Structure 1
């Protein structure tokens, strides 16, 4: 088994835990604060990763360059924008279709990888991405009166366009993180991923900090009171991102993001076994399609 596969699976599992933690934080603070915690509380852990690799495992620190700064800044900004658009979808009554379109991230990452990095995708990977995306979209719209025809005809609705824009942001971010990490040129994928993580989390923390000062300073006090769950979100989020960056240094972003759709299976399992939520046929079908897409990806990708 190629190394990027178990790394991606672990990252997807940890990201699901981070999402559960952020959902818990939403009970004590707003969306802005819960989003900020992801970056600010994750930064110390990212610094620890670099310290362990540098002083504990004697890996040299790579020198930053203009290409790295450009790609990492583009990726970090795109991720903030994509996250904001995704959260904005929740202000609409019928946001399920828009959320489904935001899950086209792997397909959009493949397109951006082709445009920006001249990466080609094999036919098997394209098939796997299509199967996974359809599966995720089925789960996203499972509890709404949506059918395949309306899913297609709704492309130009406001929520759908926001969802597509969110998916585009995540797709650009994935490709940008891969390009930034690769531009460091060494010493190995772990240190490159860790340095990329520290740089982007620092930038994102500063941007979000400035934003919160102007928008809602009260969130800082709410974060102070919820520092324990905040540390959990920071730890799981930073470790998951370290996994994503490592995997995308080893493999094309679109391929990694296609396998990362397994996160929906983890979320689905948590909803069923821990929160005792009811399931329907569309959700079951969506899960089967995601699993099928992952099998195709591993066998043919």
Structure 2
């Protein structure tokens, strides 16, 4: 099995855990505060990861490049907006279905990867991605009455548009992060990913803290007061991000983000076990399609 596959699955699990923790804190912090803690509380742990790689394992530190600075900043801004929109979706649908709206990301990541990096996707992988997206659509429509107006509202209503925009921004940020990591030379893949992660997360923290200090100081103070809970979001977020950065340094973004759809299965488990949400049969069918797509990418892609 190629190394990027278990790394991606582990990252998906950590991301699901982080999202669940953010949902729990959203009621106390609001959308902006819940978005900020994902980055602000992750910086120290990202820095510790780089220090461990350098001082503990002997990986040399790379020299920053202009490409990393620009791509990392653009990716950071795109991820901030995408995370904000994803958390905002919790106001419209339940936890599992709200996350499902953002899962058109693999198609959009494939498009951005082709336009920016010239990356190609095999026909088999493209079919698997479409199967996975079909599973997402099944999940999205699972709790919608099968009337024309209801289906239209679900597919083109405000929540759907927010989810699609979030997915586009996540796809763009993934390609930007891969660009930033690949621009670093003279070190290991792990350090390339970790170094780019520290820069991007630090940029995000500074940008959000400055904006919140001016526009939403109450949210910033609330985020600081909630440090006992928020620190776990930071740990889970950095663990997931380290996995994403490493996997996307090793492999085409579209493949990584397609395999990452396994997160939705973790989402349903979290919804069922922790949030006590009832899972419909059609949502289970959607999960099965996603799992088939993931297996196809791993074995055939």
Same fold (TM over 0.5): yes
Instruction: Report whether the alignment pairs 1:13 with 2:13.
Output: yes
Match of 2:260 in 1: 260
Match of 2:72 in 1: 72
How far apart, in 2, do the equivalents of 1:155 and 1:162 lie? 11
Match of 1:187 in 2: 187
Match of 2:138 in 1: 138
How far apart, in 2, do the equivalents of 1:274 and 1:163 lie? 23
Alignment of 1:49-198 (within 5 A): 49-89=49-89, 100-145=100-145, 157-198=157-198
Q: Point out where structure 2 has 5 or more consecutive residues left out of the alignment.
A: none
Paired residue secondary structure (1:261)? helix
Aligned length: 301
**How big is each residue's C-alpha offset from its partner over 1:242-292, in whole Å with a ceiling of 9 and x where there is no partner?**
000000000111101111111110111122234432221210110100111
Match of 2:278 in 1: 278
How far apart, in 2, do the equivalents of 1:151 and 1:60 lie? 54
- Describe the shift of the 1:232–1:23 C-alpha distance in structure 2 as closer, same or farther (beyond 3 A): same
Say which is worse superposed, 96-105 or 115-124, in terms of deviation. Answer: 96-105
Structure 1 residue 138 displacement after superposition: 2.0
In the superposition, the TM-score normalised over structure 1's length comes to: 0.92
**How big is each residue's C-alpha offset from its partner over 1:152-196, in whole Å with a ceiling of 9 and x where there is no partner?**
797655543333222111111111111110111241110011011
How far apart, in 1, do the equivalents of 2:282 and 2:71 lie? 38
How far apart, in 2, do the equivalents of 1:279 and 1:294 lie? 21
C-alpha RMSD over aligned residues = 2.5
- Describe the shift of the 1:274–1:83 C-alpha distance in structure 2 as closer, same or farther (beyond 3 A): closer
- Describe the shift of the 1:153–1:232 C-alpha distance in structure 2 as closer, same or farther (beyond 3 A): closer
Match of 1:248 in 2: 248
Structure 1 residue 52 displacement after superposition: 0.6
How far apart, in 2, do the equivalents of 1:38 and 1:86 lie? 12
- Describe the shift of the 1:164–1:275 C-alpha distance in structure 2 as closer, same or farther (beyond 3 A): closer
How far apart, in 1, do the equivalents of 2:194 and 2:209 lie? 22
Paired residue secondary structure (1:278)? coil
CA contact (8 A) 1:73 1:203 kept: yes
Q: Point out where structure 1 has 5 or more consecutive residues left out of the alignment.
A: none
How far apart, in 2, do the equivalents of 1:81 and 1:16 lie? 18
In the superposition, the TM-score normalised over structure 2's length comes to: 0.92
How far apart, in 1, do the equivalents of 2:44 and 2:77 lie? 20
CA contact (8 A) 2:68 2:181 kept: yes
Say which is worse superposed, 161-170 or 96-105, in terms of deviation. Answer: 96-105
Structure 1 residue 98 displacement after superposition: 8.5
